[in-house]
Amino acid sequence: MPTVLITGASRGIGKALADQYEGDGWDVIRTCRDPKGAGIPDALKLDVTDHDDVCDAAEALSGRPIDVLINNAGVIGQRDAALGSIDYRLWEETFRTNTLAPIRVAEALVANVAASDRKTMVFISSVMGSIARNAGGHYLYRSTKAALNAAMVSVSRELAPRGVICISMHPGWVQTEMGGPTAAVTVPDSSTGIRRVVAGLQSSDNGRFYDYDGAEIPW
């Protein structure tokens, strides 16, 4: 039975991914900041921005292979940021969640992933992190996702000799709390697409950036 670990699995895309993988017979490790408060007391407590939490999770999972690690947890930051009104403290917090945290989790669990059969790391990013497609605005979210993409490429190069495949994934503009009710993609469609892309990954996909429908996104 393959194993998947999903951060931010208490709601939205993370929850949908966890439910779908579980429905297909996978061993699912759900993680979130407050399992009891989220109504999933069996989930692994993991605040991805907390160094001690990440270390505790890595210790609890020591020796357990993880076929697919999905770094899903993220925040939008300041939606209306513009020159003259940027909240720099919030920018730093957004950077910690969207950029530093996924790399910290990947670093902590690299041995688990490398010991598995599928050896896959997925970093949930956004097309808003694409410099080629930057239409302006959203300073915090765009920059932290662009930085995540750059870090993912470095991770992919470092782990390639160990057979690990790393990708950045745009989940679509999804009808979640972050995306809002007018977003174009439903949560089930996004998670289904993500899983389809992940299932078809090969070594040649390492270090690339994909949309949930399988299309490659320019950096």
The edge-to-edge listing of strands for the beta sheet with 120-124 is 44-45, 27-32, 3-6, 68-71, 120-124, 165-170, 208-211
Q: Which of 21, 141, 210, 212 is catalytic?
A: 141
Nearest to 192 by CA among 32, 19, 76: 19
141 is catalytic: yes
Cα separation of 204 and 106, whole Å? 20
CB 108 within 8 A of CB 49: no
Q: In sequence order, which ranges of the chain are alpha helices (DSSP H)?
A: 12-23, 51-60, 88-95, 101-114, 139-159, 187-199
* Three-class DSSP category at 124: strand
Query: Position of tokens 């993370």?
Result: 14
Nearest to 21 by CA among 42, 45, 5, 10: 5
Active-site amino acid positions: 141
